[in-house]
Structures are given as C-alpha cells and as structure tokens.
C-alpha cells in the first residue's frame, strides 16, 4: 500500500547544502514529505531589496500572501520575524554559518577598525545586517557602524563588483565566490541560524523536515566532496556563466540537531532591542514564539 506524502513548500536559504542533499537523496520523501522548493522566494532573497521596507522583503511575501512556506534565516532575524507575526521559530535545532566582510582588492581597509563610518552593503534585517553590529561593536560605537540596505547576496556581491560599495557583508556561498573573484576578507566569524514556520504548520511535518536535514548533515559529513557541486543550485542566474570552482566552496552552513539554549533566545531579543531592530516585534515571549512550545 502506497504511503501518502504530505506536500510541503520550502524556501531554501542557500547558505548550506542540506536542503539540496535531502532532496537529491530522497530524505524528504523517506520522512513522508513531498517537498517543493519555493524558488520565487529563494531567488527573491538573493536579489536587490532597495526601496523595500520590512514586511515587504521577498522572505516576507509568503506571510503577506498567506502561503505556507518553511524558511530559515539568521537567529536574530528569525526571532524578530516571529515576533512581528510571521510564523513561529523552530527551537529544536539550529545552523552554524560562516560570515565575513569583504572589500575590494585596492581598498585601504585592512582591519575592522578601518570600517568606522564606511557604508557596508547588507540585506536589511537579515543575517548580513545583524552580523554587522554584532561583530563590529567591539571595535567602534554603534553610531559609527554604517549598514546600508542593498538586499540579497547576489545584490551585495554585485555592489562590491561594480564598486558601488567598498565593503559588503557576505554569507555562503558568496564568501567563496568573492574569494575566487579576488576580493579581500577583512574579518570573519560564524553565527547561528534558525528555521521558522507558519503558525498552522503540522508538528509532524516540521519534525520530518528536521529529521531530513539531520540525515543530510550525516551524508555531508561522510562525503562532502560528493555534494559540493550542488552549490550550483545556490548561485543566481546572473553569476552562472562564471567558471566557479565548487570544489573550493567549502562546507557552508552546518546543521545542528540540538535545541537552541533558552539563554540564547534572551540574548537575541536583548541585542535586537539595543540595536533598535526589534521595533516590529509585537511579542517577545519564548513560549509564544517557539513552535510547539
């Protein structure tokens, strides 16, 4: 007797390979899920967001249009999105992703201190944005940190290529792309990502999705080289013609099948408040924002 699969729409972050590996290896289907990738949202998050306000960004549109889409973002952004009424964050797992600020090769910026009052291309209220005050505040006052909304990673990388910006906040795989294009890294670190889902999402679906990502993590750990060519799926169309060496793209975001600590949630809310980036949050309670809490 055939098993009925539950239809699920997922917008990959593209910062890691787990979604693509889970699809390729059939892990989603083995968990009872018929996953369809929402490429409109995915490609939208890579594009320019200039002129868009919060709640108008590509990742916001599924909620504005009442579409049921599973997504993920930086921990700060996901918690703030949930607090603003866009679903609930999944507290049972998280990701660890690289982050870096790159400059043009001829730039006179060589250290974090040199970024004082320098406009930095970011994607508004997303990982590339939140990471900037988080990592630069030890080096300078908040008023001297100049994050400028450009949008998704394709737009930020293009802003660096064109010379519109001297500095850009980048995530995988654009970090590897910037390196292959000859741009220079000023600082780097890692940060946590969290998934968020519609309030009406099924607990069975969410758990199955998490299990599939965990199985993909095991596959990546066992044979990373086998899956590195899948980075091609994360590269926007305007960059596809470049001869990227995917073998050098690295691991990207890593999936951790463990709950995020409650104290990390409290720290996220506190930081967003201090930076003035919690202004759309209507709710700040862990119990009301965590899916299934």
End-to-end CA distance of the chain: 35
Quick one: average pLDDT of 85-103?
A: 96
pLDDT level of residue 99 (50, 70, 90 thresholds)? very high
User: What torsion, rounded to 10 degrees, do the Cα atoms 167, 169, 174, 180 define?
Assistant: 30
Q: What is the pLDDT averaged over residues 198-223?
A: 96
Distance CA 215, CA 257 (A): 10
Looking at residue 2, its pLDDT comes to 47
* Mean pLDDT of the 49-73 span: 86
Confidence of residue 48 (pLDDT cuts 50, 70, 90): confident
Task: Please tell me the least confidently modeled range out of 60-64, 140-144, 167-171.
Answer: 60-64
Q: Which residues contact 12 (CB under 8 A, 6 or more apart)?
A: 19, 20, 37, 42, 233, 234
Q: Does 1 score more than 50 pLDDT?
A: no
> What pLDDT does residue 293 have?
65
Query: Which pLDDT band, with edges at 50, 70 and 90, does 198 fall under?
Result: very high
What band does 240 get if pLDDT is binned at 50, 70 and 90? confident
Whole-structure pTM value:
0.94
Q: How far apart are the C-alpha atoms of 70 and 208, rounded to whole Å?
A: 12
CATH number of 97-190: 3.40.190.10
Give mean pLDDT, residues 236-255. Answer: 92
Q: Where in the chain is the domain with CATH 3.40.190.10?
A: 6-96+193-289, 97-190
Of 203, 205, 209, 196, the residue nearest 28 (C-alpha): 209
Is it the case that residue 47 has pLDDT exceeding 70?
yes
β 119-122/167-170 pair status: parallel
Instruction: Give the model's pLDDT for residue 40.
Output: 85
Radius of gyration of the chain from its Cα atoms, rounded to whole angstroms: 18
- The mean pLDDT of the chain is 93
Given a cut of 90, is residue 167 above it in pLDDT?
Answer: yes
Average pLDDT over residues 214-230: 98
Q: Please state, as a whole number, how many other Cβ atoms lie within 10 Å of the Cβ of residue 275.
A: 18
How much is the average pLDDT of 73-95? 95
Which residues, 6+ apart, have CB-to-CB distance to 243 below 8 Å? none
Mean pLDDT of 249-270: 95
pLDDT at 259 over 90: yes
Q: What is the pLDDT of residue 53?
A: 86
Does the domain made of 6-96+193-289 have the CATH classification 3.30.300.20? no
- SS3 letters across the chain: CCCCCEEEEECCCCCCCHHHHHHHCCHHHHCCEEEEECHHHHHHHHCECCCCCCCCCHHHHHHHCCCCCEEEEEHHHHHHHHHCCCCEECCCCEEEEEEEEEECCCCCCCCHHHHCCCEEEECCCCHHHHHHHHHHCCCCCHHHCEEEECECHHHHHHHHHHCCCCEEEECCCHHHHHHHCCCEEEEEEEEEEEEEECCCCCHHHHHHHHHHHHHHHHHHHHCHHHHHHHHHHHCCHHHCCCCCCHHHCCCCCEEECCCCCHHHHHHHHHHHHHCCCCCCCCCCCHHHHECCC
Q: Which residue has the higher pLDDT, 41 or 210?
A: 210
Residue 25 has pLDDT above 60, yes or no: yes
Q: Is pLDDT above 80 for 16?
A: yes
């Amino acid at each position: 007797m055939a098993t009925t699969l539950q239809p699920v729409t997922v917008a990959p972050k593209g910062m890691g390979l787990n979604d693509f590996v889970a699809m390729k290896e059939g892990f989603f289907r083995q968990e009872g899920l018929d996953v369809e990738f929402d490429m409109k949202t995915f490609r939208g998050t890579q594009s320019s967001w200039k002129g868009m306000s919060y709640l108008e960004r590509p990742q916001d549109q599924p909620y504005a249009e009442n579409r049921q889409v599973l997504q993920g973002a930086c921990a700060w952004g996901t918690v703030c999105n949930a607090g603003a009424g866009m679903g609930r964050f999944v507290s049972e797992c998280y990701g660890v992703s690289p982050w870096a600020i790159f400059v043009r090769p001829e730039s006179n910026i060589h250290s974090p201190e040199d970024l004082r009052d320098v406009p930095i291309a970011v994607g508004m209220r997303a990982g590339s944005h939140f990471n900037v005050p988080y990592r630069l505040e030890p080096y300078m006052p908040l008023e001297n940190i100049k994050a400028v909304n450009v949008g998704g990673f394709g737009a930020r990388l293009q802003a660096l290529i064109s010379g519109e910006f001297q500095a850009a906040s980048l995530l995988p795989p654009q970090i590897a792309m910037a390196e292959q294009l000859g741009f220079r890294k000023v600082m780097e670190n890692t940060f946590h990502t969290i998934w968020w889902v519609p309030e009406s999402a099924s607990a069975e679906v969410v758990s199955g999705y998490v299990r599939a990502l965990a199985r993909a993590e095991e596959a990546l750990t066992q044979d990373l080289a086998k899956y590195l060519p899948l980075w091609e799926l994360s590269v926007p169309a305007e960059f596809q013609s470049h001869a990227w060496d995917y073998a050098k793209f690295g691991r990207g975001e890593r999936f951790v099948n463990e709950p995020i600590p409650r104290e990390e949630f409290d720290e996220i809310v506190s930081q967003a408040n201090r930076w003035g980036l919690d202004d759309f949050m209507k709710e700040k309670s862990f119990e009301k924002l965590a899916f299934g809490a």
